[in-house]
Structure 1
């Protein structure tokens, strides 16, 4: 929560309170945040925040399906590959793979770095590059 950079490969002991859980994220991670919901279909997931943690290359695949059935077993789902290239400081949102009935055709991503810099990008299933 502090965006403090800590060298990895070691054990960390930290005092904390009941309302604070330390969260350590590996360099290169891409962590998506959706809307605050109580159940999957409460709100549309058409605007997501992608928190990217520089320091290494990384990748992530955003998987989505119909939420409420087993049609994913028959191939009714999508995947959006994402990769962070640390040397060029570029996030690539790859071409969407797959489809399912009622899927979002487009959405907004807000890409946020730990230093607070952010960029918004419209995504419609085609490859998009976001440079920082």
Structure 2
């Protein structure tokens, strides 16, 4: 396969095709951790895509994340939530907001239910004519 192929308007033009897949795969895993409650987001920076959170579980590692959708990646690791929040506040203090960042357009569209086709109409089944003993054998 051609390793020089990239997505149109991809913001990391230096990445090869396999590196693009790797970045997107890591971003998907981060999204799944957030979605399933394994990564708790403490705060975000205003309207941008920088957040601070803590992995729930044995490690308890705290992270700064940067980017959104298929480009989200870990920007920094911390041993405790306190250290992560203090560092985040030092860098992003004036714009720091509690909780997760608002959903992006891509995530919002993915969270909307897919419209279903209407159910078949209810009503009496069409009448059936009784089977003659002879037609039942056919």
Fold match, TM over 0.5? Answer: no
Normalised TM-score (structure 2): 0.19
TM-score by length of 1: 0.20
Higher strand share: 1
Q: Which has the higher helix share?
A: 2
